[in-house]
């Protein structure tokens, strides 16, 4: 039990002495990044709905994956822009 308490104390001291996290992307750019990504996701989704529905092709899969990634990262950027850090 004593060894566990010493370990926790050591971890707390290490945590207190470590440098704070610094984002690679400035927070002031997040609203613009969110707008661009979400707009691109909307346009990619619109393009997907206009493709002919003969059969499922690799081109459709590429558009689907691209739209999903744009929407996912756009939502995360939007949440971070308003202060909800996910």
> For each successive 10 residues of the chain (86 residues), what is the average pLDDT?
67 86 88 97 91 82 93 95 87
At 37 the pLDDT is: 97
What is the pTM for the complete model shown? 0.73
C-alpha to C-alpha distances, 10 to 14, 19, 31, 32, 82, nearest whole angstrom: 6, 16, 39, 42, 35
* Per-residue model confidence (pLDDT) at position 5: 59
Q: Return the pLDDT at 50.
A: 87
List the Cα angle 48/65/62 in 5-degree steps: 65
């Amino acid at each position: 039990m004593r060894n566990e308490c010493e370990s926790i104390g050591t971890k707390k001291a290490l945590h207190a002495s470590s440098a704070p996290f610094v984002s690679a992307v400035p927070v002031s750019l997040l609203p613009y990044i969110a707008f661009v990504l979400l707009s691109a996701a909307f346009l990619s989704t619109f393009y997907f709905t206009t493709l002919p529905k003969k059969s499922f092709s690799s081109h459709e899969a590429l558009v689907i994956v691209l739209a999903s990634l744009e929407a996912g990262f756009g939502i995360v950027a939007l949440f971070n822009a308003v202060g909800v850090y996910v």
